[in-house]
Amino acid sequence: MSKLKAYKKRLQEAARDPQISVALERAIASYRKNVDEALKKFPHTLQLAEEVRRIKEESIPRMEDLVKEACEAIRENKGKAFVARTPAEALEIIDGIVGSGKLIVKGKSLTGEEIDLREHLEERGNEVYETDLGEYIIQLLGIKPMHLLAPAIHVPKEEVAKLLSRVTGKNIPPDIQTEVATVREILRDKFFRAQVGMSGANAVAADTGTLFQIENEGNIRLSTSAPPICIALVGMEKVVPTIEDAFKVAEVTWRFAGYTVPAYLNLVSGPSKTGDIEKVTTYGAHGPKEMYVIFLDAGRSQLAQDPVFQEALYCLRCGGCLYECPLFAVTAGRFGDKYFGGIGAIWTAFVTGDFSKAAPLTYSCLSCGRCKVRCPMEIDAPQMCLELRKRIVAEGGSSAKES
């Protein structure tokens, strides 16, 4: 029971930390307010969510074919596309493109987090900058993210000021405006000097090979357009049949993330190009000359064929469920591994293939069911947690792959 004990200790420490519960209390209140307003302003979202659920129900069972189609489309756009079956394979492909000694700017990506991408690139002698503000703070603090969309949700402005003062050698006051401007200045230079930009994607259209990236800060735009090489690491489950479907997925995702509309929706289908001189298509105009997309399997194809747990792949990562979880409200990302909350227990079980890692998480779910009420895909995470417990008891080998 040592894994459970160590996990429980971390969970208890978080639950006793008033900084976490106070930050979360504010975040939950403003999330709920934002999402209520966004849904009121765009009431068609609820129906759209039902449509997206149907798109997912149709896409997931034929995920393999859709990924193949997306790869072909990307290649047609003169990008390069790969399918990595394991995290090791993905890292090997990325190593082959990046090498070492590079300056890399990176957008926030849970899939990157899943395979410890930043740590790996740093070990290979690259200088890597997280460019999402929250993620950048997390990187500076040398800790793990506490929330999908707001990784530094538990860090107050006073601590951020201390951190930035250390980095810049100047005295940065605990004023949010100044802090944001300081980070802008630090990272601006990195965007334009970086040889490689990295990102994920919220949805991918199989027919056009287009990546959909939702963001507010503008860091993903810069990461995917300023450096000469851009690489996207995407979970296989993100692919939907058409570009129209992908728009629907994107809209439901940002609305349930609490936005009426995000500042940016970035669409990337291939390397930048121009035909302005003699109508000769030439690659590498203002944007990247090379574009790579790596689709990550890591347990997803197994999940896609599992009638009980398939639903986990419908997750849009809007993060709405976390704001409704009473346990997350006091422990934040400590209730999870790389993926959080009840749904995170299922993801952990299948992407790591390690049931012993998932067991403490699935036994942390209160099975209260409020996450399901919030979820735009109506994913029944608590029920899946109970089914996972059943597998842990009944099959309980060391890995999901044995089952």
Residues of this chain that interact with other proteins (CB under 8 A) are 1, 4, 8-9, 11-12, 15, 32, 324, 326-327, 329-331, 355-356, 359, 363-370, 372-373, 382, 386, 388-394, 396
Question: How distant, in Å, are the alpha carbons of 120, 137, 291 from that of 140?
Answer: 17, 5, 28
3-state secondary structure 220-236: HHHHHHCCCEEEEEEEH
Q: How far is the CB of 326 from other proteins (least distance, A)?
A: 5
Give residues with Cβ within 8 angstroms of 205, minimum separation 6. 70, 73, 212, 239, 240, 241, 242, 243, 245, 246
Q: Which residue, 303 or 327, is less far from other proteins as judged by CB?
A: 327
Based on CB atoms, which residue is closest to other proteins, 125 or 326? 326
CB of 313 vs other proteins, minimal distance in Å: 22
CB of 248 to other proteins, least distance (A): 25
Residue 298 or residue 327: which is nearer to other proteins going by CB? 327
**Residue number with CB closer to other proteins (108 or 374):** 374
Q: 386 vs 219, 303, 320, 333, 389, CA distance in Å?
A: 39, 16, 21, 21, 5
Q: Give, for 69, the enclosing helix (H) or strand (E).
A: helix 63-76
Q: Which is nearer to other proteins, 157 or 401 (CB)?
A: 401
Q: Is the dihedral of CA 240, 245, 246, 249 positive or negative?
A: negative
- Please identify, using beta-carbon distances, which residue of 18 and 169 lies nearer to other proteins: 18
To other proteins, the closest distance from the beta carbon of 141 in angstroms equals 24
In the complex, least distance from residue 116 CB atom to other proteins, rounded to whole angstroms: 24
Q: Which tokens in the block code for residue 232?
A: 């996207």
Closest approach of other proteins to the CB of residue 307, in Å: 15
Distance of alpha carbon 364 from alpha carbon 332, whole angstroms: 13
Beta-carbon count within 10 A of 36 CB: 11
